[in-house]
Amino acid sequence: MIDTIVDLAKIFLRPSSVTFLVGVLGVGVLLSFLRRTRHAARWYFAAVFAAYWIFTTPACAERLIVWSSGNFTPIVTAAEARGARTIVVLGGGNQTLKARGLMLNQVSWSGALRVMEGVRLYSLLGAPTIIVSGGTTGRDQGDAAEADAMRTAAIELGVPAEHIIVEKESRNTREEALIIRRMLADRLHEPVVLVTSPTHMTRSLGVFRAANIDAIPSVAVYKSDYSMTRLRWLPNDGGLMLLTTVIYDVAATAYYRLRGWTATPLTAIAQAIGMM
């Protein structure tokens, strides 16, 4: 039951989704037709307008990204990786296009930035193994796995195919950690570099450490260079996307902690000093 509720929330409670916007407008329309709430409807619509305007501007949305991302930073020297020879790049979504017998599997904006961070680390750390992770999360028949799109992107960026391992069974972050633990069964004593988006890192690091994987965080950037630099106090699609990311990851992190799927601070500290 709870999994069904969570799946519905993923679909309907994203500020960038049409279903969410229609629902918000529907509440306002209902308020405007009820005699007791007719006056309040004007303030409701004004509040919705103001909230969407403010929080979908790049200036505000980027501050929310920083606020929700913790203090994680990208690895900048090989020494910070502590000898890790495996990079794990977590899936960030994909889009499968199918038409007239042809199919194209495209990595998402977030997924592409994660792959780019993984490729940067590949060069920095002297060509280690890259695990790209992410199963089929689309709901249409014939949708392809996120990891397949990520593998294609990594190869296009210069990583040899033989240095890439594909994990495409998982459907969420917790499953990624459990499956990758199984894949690394004979190397669990070795550290791995974990790559994902800034707002996703707290939850990801928690589940990987709960799975007794010695994960070293290296966050990807959350936007392309030079994007969202103009008209920063005007709402745009980029700001709406960032707002949706923040809301989703903050809610998902709270949900994971509620379910007990992330490492406790004490466990994380113990792992960091090599006690586990």
Same domain, 80 and 28: no
Same domain, 79 and 166: yes
Same domain, 120 and 196: yes
Same domain, 109 and 9: no
- pLDDT value of residue 1: 65
pTM: 0.89
Is there a domain that residue 187 lies in?
Answer: yes
Same domain, 16 and 119: no
Query: Where in the sequence is the domain holding 10, given as residue range(s)?
Result: 2-55
Q: How many C-beta atoms lie closer than 10 Å to residue 27's C-beta? A: 14
Is there a domain that residue 227 lies in?
Answer: no
Is there a domain that residue 192 lies in?
Answer: yes
What is the DSSP secondary-structure string of 32-100? HHSGGGHHHHHHHHHHHHHHHHHHTSHHHHHHHHHHHSTT-----SGGGGTT--EEEEE---EEEEEET
Residue 267 pLDDT exceeds 70: no
pLDDT digits (tens, 9 = 90+) for 44-64: 999 999 999 999 999 999 999
Return the closest-CA partner of residue 93 out of 132, 142, 119: 132
Q: Which of 3-12, 211-220, 227-236 has the lowest mean pLDDT?
A: 3-12
- pLDDT value of residue 272: 43
Count of structural domains within the chain? 2
Same domain, 80 and 211: yes
Q: Which is it for the CA torsion 249, 252, 258, 264, positive or negative?
A: negative
Same domain, 168 and 203: yes
Same domain, 36 and 141: no
User: Going by DSSP bridges, is the β-strand pair 192-196/164-167 parallel, antiparallel, or unpaired?
Assistant: unpaired
Is there a domain that residue 235 lies in?
Answer: no
pLDDT digits (tens, 9 = 90+) for 70-89: 889 999 999 999 999 999 99
Q: CB under 8 Å to 28, separation ≥6 — which residues?
A: 41, 44, 45, 48
Same domain, 22 and 151: no
* Measured distance CA(160)–CA(180) in Å, rounded: 21
* Measured distance CA(146)–CA(144) in Å, rounded: 7
pLDDT category at 65 given cuts 50, 70, 90 is very high
Same domain, 86 and 203: yes
Same domain, 50 and 91: no
* Measured distance CA(187)–CA(85) in Å, rounded: 10
Same domain, 99 and 206: yes
Domain containing 83 — which CATH number?
A: 3.40.50.620
